[in-house]
Structure formats: C-alpha cells, structure tokens
C-alpha cells in the first residue's frame, strides 16, 4: 500500500523540531544536573550545570550551580555565581536571595544584611519573593544580635572576672578596648577600675583628656600619672582634677612636665590628703618646695622618687619625715645625708649617684628597718607596697655602677646581714680585693637568690664554687667578664635546683664541656646568656637551644 506523500506543513514541523533539538543542548545538561542534585551527587551536578552555562548563560543555571557549590562547601564560588546573577538581573530577587543565604551560612550576617538592603532598594515590590527578602533580612539581623550576645564576654562573665581581666591591662590599652564595640565601651565607662589609674600622656589631645575626666567620678581615681605635659596642659589637668573632686588620689607621678607652682600646690592642698606616693622626674620643681610645701600639704606621703639632673640647691631638714621608700637622683651628698638622718623609718633606699661609703654606714645605723640599699640606679617604681613589712635585716645590697664604697664597709654590711640577704650586686665595686672575696665566700648565705659580680679578678674559681654551693636558693647568677669562671663553676651551678637565669658573657675560660655539664638533666633554666664566650663551639650552643628553647639562649659576638 502506497503511503501518502508528506504534506508541506508536516515537513516544516519536522524541520522545526530538528532545529530545536539542535539549538538547545544545554537543556539535556541542565536536566542531568538536576537529577544529580536530587541524588545528592553535587560534584557531578556542578559539572553538568557548568556545561549548560557554557551554552546558555541565564540566572536559573547560575542559581542551580551556586546551590550545588553551597552543598559541597565551596562558598566563595557559590557567592561568585550569586553576584553574577545580581549583575545580570539587578531587579530580580533570585540573585540576592542566593547571596544572602550563602553569607548567612558563613555567619557573615552584616554582609548578608547589606545584600538584603540592596535587594529591597532595587527589586520591584511586585516580585513574588519581595516579602521573603524582608523576612530574610530580619532573620539575619536577629542572628547577628544573637552572635554578638554569644561572643561578647562582657555579657557572659561575672563582674569580678571582668574586673580581674581589665585590671591587668594598662590605661592606654583600656582606652583602645573602648573602641572594640559598644558593649565594651559601656562596661568600661561605668567600671570604677577604668579610672582608678589614669595615665595622661602628651600624645592625648586636651579634648580627649577632658572627655576621660568627664567619664570618671573623682572618688574612683587612685593613681594619676602625667608625662610630657607643657605648663598650659598641666594647668588644665590639675584644674580638672580639682573640679572632678579627685581627693582620694594615693599615687601621683609627674614625669618630664612643666609644673605650674601655684596650681600644683592648690591641687595638693585640696586633693592630697590621701596621697602616699609622689614621683617627680625632670620637672624642675625645687626640692625645697617639696620639703616645705608638699610634705606639709600631704603629711601621709611615705614614698618619694625625686630625679632632677639640675637640682643643685641646698636644703635644711628640721623634722623627721614619714618616708619608708626614698629614691634620689641628682642631689648632693649633703642632701642625701640629711634625708637619711631624718627618715628613720626607711625600708627601701636608692641613690644615684652617691659617695656611698659613709652613706652606707649612716643608713645601716639610722634606718633599722632598711631592707634595700641601692647605689647607681634610678629607681622608677617599686614592685610591691611593703610599708607594713616587718624587717628582719637587709635583704638587697646593690652597687650597680661605679662606686667608691670601701671593701671594709661593704664586707661589714654583708657580714651583719648574711643570714637575710637575698640580692647582692657588686658590679660597681671595681676595687674588690682577694681578702674581701675570701671573707664573702666563707659566709653561708642560704637565703641568697641573686648574685651579680662583674669585671674583677679578686675571685678564684674555687671561691666562686664555694659561694655558689653555699647559696642553696640561687635563682639568678650574673658573672660577666670573669676570667675565673671555668667549667668547674658551671658544674657547681648545675647543682642548684632553683636556678633560672645565668649570664656568663665575656668569660673566655668556659667551653662546650662546661655547657653540657650545666645542662645535664637541667631543664628549669629560663635564660642563658653566653655572649662573646670564644671557647664555646656552635654544637654546644645548639645543644643548649635544643634543651632550653631557642629564645632562652643568647649567643653572639660583639
């Protein structure tokens, strides 16, 4: 039976279908990708969607590939496809929703909120997903709020823990912490400890200083420190202290400042009743003013640090002072003598410089509570407040720079206090003799924790070994530029169980064998300095760094 020939219209329909099949190959890839996605084969789905995009770039294909990227955790590529969708169709919601979802999954809530805000600006309100954009924006805001609540330790930790944390931070750092976030700022502004120790530097503007002083309540301020202030700024700060009623200040430090005399004395009269510690460094304020006016306005001062390179005036002390801590620099020998004679309650004394032979004898005679005597160092602060400490004898005797103390006075002082001395520093005693070394090493100083000896030939290696073995509590040993420091001395040091810090720089008779003896089963040493020790080879240095840690060993040549 013969078939009827195809009509012209039928031939046209077949050609159209053939053309459609030929011009839409992306659809097959798209369908395969959807099937892979439904079967959780996301890597295969990405391949098919990418093939479809090569033939036909539309937002649906990009959306599908972004969803697959999201499933496999490739958030950067998912976000890239979402951004492409937003550029291709800025008035449609699909790209914004995909980008927002990816950002929320990454917990980048602020970025997600910004995307949703942009969408609400450009997407037509007639879009079927416009309401979803508003909903997702609100959810992102709620999630961000919850995230801040979870991560903000000021909302979680108890008040006493927060107090302990921020109390360890300097005033400058606490100011920086105020800029972290609003909750930190609010806590620090209201926390009394924030304004307990004020440190006002020349880098701060007058406006900032006024702001800080406006936040505080005067009764909170316990320590006020001012550095590098000109006279006009000092006027402002002192007047602010008066206006804010800072009458509970216990410690006042003024360093490298131009002090306006009349305002300063008025400040002390009104605010200095509780003052216990006064530090004046390079202020140009006369020592006579301190004695006549400051001590009269602030009778409770027990700690005085006075350093002034141009102080050459004479003073006349007429009554006893209540000072327990005294550090003087740039003052005459006569002034130092007068202070010692009129301060019988001294616990710690630091002088720089000094003709210290008669000063040492005078201090030991007139100050029965003295526990620290230091020559040759400008003391900037005291580590502890030991006004109520009961003295059992001298604990620290230090001559850190060149000193004219006689060995007779020095050895006498050590022999009188050998059973209480914890620190002996004779680096500035260049005239030390062999007989003095014999007397020193024969004393059983069981409480000695730190010893500093430098650049002297008075000690033999046997004497150093005897000194080290008798001091069973040694923690720090400084023996620089000592030809008598040998491997035998290091062997004696190895017997010390509390040893933490050793400096034997410029000791030519120490070798790698001594270092090995020192470090045998010795892992508590925190710092070993062996600079310019020419007979120590690199293999011994490597061993030391391997046992103690690289940063614990210092070895270099200068």
Judge whether 417 and 423 are in contact, CB under 8 Å: no
Total length of the chain: 558
Strand partners, 503: 478, 529
Residue 151 CA to residue 157 CA, distance in Å, equals: 11
At 280-299, the pLDDT tens digits run 999 989 898 999 999 999 99
Does 36 map to a domain?
A: yes
Average pLDDT over residues 181-190: 84
Structural domain boundaries enclosing 72 = 25-148
On the CB side of 251, how many CA atoms lie within 13 Å of its CA?
A: 13
Domain boundary among 123, 148, 173: 148
Does 6 map to a domain?
A: no
Judge whether 435 and 411 are in contact, CB under 8 Å: no
Distance between first and last Cα of the chain = 114
Does 71 map to a domain?
A: yes
What is the DSSP-derived secondary structure letter of residue 220? G
Judge whether 248 and 274 are in contact, CB under 8 Å: yes
At 317-335, the pLDDT tens digits run 889 999 999 999 888 888 9
Does 287 map to a domain?
A: no
pLDDT surpasses 90 at 533? yes
pLDDT surpasses 60 at 15? no
For 163-209, the three-class secondary structure string (H helix, E strand, C coil) is HHHHHCCCHHHHHHHCCCCHHHHHHHHHCHHHHCEEEECCCCCHHHH
At 444-496, the pLDDT tens digits run 999 999 999 999 989 999 999 999 999 999 999 999 999 999 999 999 999 99
H/E segment holding residue 350: strand 348-352
Q: Among 25-29, 137-141, 239-243, 361-365, which is the least confidently predicted range?
A: 25-29
21-24 long-range contacts (CB < 8 A, ≥24 apart) are 24/56
Domain boundary among 104, 121, 148: 148
Residue 331 CA to residue 206 CA, distance in Å, equals: 34
Say how far residue 492 (Cα) sits from the centre of its chain: 36
Does 473 map to a domain?
A: yes
Domain boundary among 91, 121, 148: 148
At 66-88, the pLDDT tens digits run 999 999 989 999 999 999 999 99
Quote the number of domains for the chain.
Answer: 2
Helix ranges restricted to H, 382-486: 407-417, 434-441, 461-470
Give me the pLDDT at residue 446, please: 92
Judge whether 307 and 280 are in contact, CB under 8 Å: yes
Does 101 map to a domain?
A: yes
What percent of the chain clears pLDDT 70, i.e. is strictly above it?
91
Residue 408 CA to residue 420 CA, distance in Å, equals: 19
186-190 long-range contacts (CB < 8 A, ≥24 apart) are 187/154, 187/162, 189/215
**CATH at 443:** 3.80.10.10
Q: Among 106-110, 501-505, 521-525, which is the least confidently predicted range?
A: 521-525
- Quick check: helix, strand or coil at residue 373? strand
Does 57 map to a domain?
A: yes
| Angle, in degrees to the nearest 10, between helices 26-38 and 59-71 | 30
Residue 181 CA to residue 166 CA, distance in Å, equals: 15
Does 472 map to a domain?
A: yes
**CATH at 40:** 1.25.40.10
């Amino acid at each position: 039976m013969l078939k009827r020939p195809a009509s012209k219209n039928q031939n046209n329909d077949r050609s159209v279908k053939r053309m459609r099949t030929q011009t839409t190959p992306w659809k097959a890839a798209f369908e395969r990708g959807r099937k892979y996605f439904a079967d959780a084969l996301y890597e295969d789905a990405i391949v098919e969607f990418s093939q479809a995009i090569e033939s036909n770039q539309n937002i649906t294909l990009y959306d599908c590939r972004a969803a697959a990227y999201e499933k496999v955790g490739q958030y950067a590529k998912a976000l890239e496809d979402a951004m492409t969708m937003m550029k291709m169709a800025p008035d449609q919601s699909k790209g914004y929703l995909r980008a927002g979802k990816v950002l929320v999954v990454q917990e980048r809530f602020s970025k997600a909120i910004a995307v949703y805000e942009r969408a609400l600006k450009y997407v037509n309100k007639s879009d079927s997903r416009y309401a979803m954009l508003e909903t997702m924006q609100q959810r992102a805001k709620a999630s961000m709020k919850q995230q801040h609540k979870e991560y903000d330790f000021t909302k979680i930790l108890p008040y006493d823990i927060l107090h302990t944390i921020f109390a360890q931070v300097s005033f400058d750092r606490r100011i920086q912490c105020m800029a972290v976030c609003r909750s930190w700022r609010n806590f620090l502004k209201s926390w009394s400890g924030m304004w307990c120790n004020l440190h006002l530097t020349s880098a701060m503007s007058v406006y900032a200083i006024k702001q800080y002083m406006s936040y505080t309540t005067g009764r909170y301020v316990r320590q006020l420190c001012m550095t590098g202030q000109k006279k006009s700024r000092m006027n402002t700060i002192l007047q602010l202290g008066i206006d804010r009623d800072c009458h509970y200040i216990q410690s006042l430090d003024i360093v490298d400042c131009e002090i306006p005399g009349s305002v300063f004395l008025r400040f002390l009269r009104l605010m200095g009743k509780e003052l216990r510690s006064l530090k004046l460094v390079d202020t140009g304020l006369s020592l006579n003013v301190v004695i006549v006016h400051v001590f009269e306005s602030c009778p409770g001062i027990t700690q005085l640090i006075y350093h002034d390179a141009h102080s050459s005036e004479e003073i006349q002390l007429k009554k006893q002072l209540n000072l327990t801590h005294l550090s003087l620099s740039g003052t005459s020998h006569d002034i130092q003598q007068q202070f010692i004679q009129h301060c019988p309650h001294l616990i710690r004394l630091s002088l720089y410089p000094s003709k210290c032979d008669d000063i040492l004898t005078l201090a030991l005679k007139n100050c029965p509570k003295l526990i620290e005597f230091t020559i040759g160092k400008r003391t900037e602060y005291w580590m502890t407040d030991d006004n109520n400490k009961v003295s059992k004898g001298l604990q620290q005797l230090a001559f850190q720079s060149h000193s004219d103390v006689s060995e007779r006075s020095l050895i006498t002082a050590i022999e009188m206090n050998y059973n209480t001395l914890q620190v002996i520093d004779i680096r500035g005693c260049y005239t030390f003799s062999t007989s003095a070394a014999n007397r020193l090493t024969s004393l059983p100083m069981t409480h000695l924790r730190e010893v500093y000896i430098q650049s002297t030939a008075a000690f033999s290696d046997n004497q150093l070994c005897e000194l080290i073995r008798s001091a069973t509590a040694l923690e720090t040993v400084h023996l620089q530029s000592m030809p008598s420091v040998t491997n035998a001395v290091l062997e004696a040091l190895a017997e010390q169980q509390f040893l933490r810090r050793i400096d034997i720089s410029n000791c030519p008779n120490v070798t790698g064998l001594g270092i090995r003896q020192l470090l045998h089963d010795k892992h508590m040493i925190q710092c070993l300095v062996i600079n310019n020790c020419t007979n120590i080879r690199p293999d011994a240095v490597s061993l030391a760094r391997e046992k103690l840690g690289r940063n614990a060993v210092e070895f270099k040549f200068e």
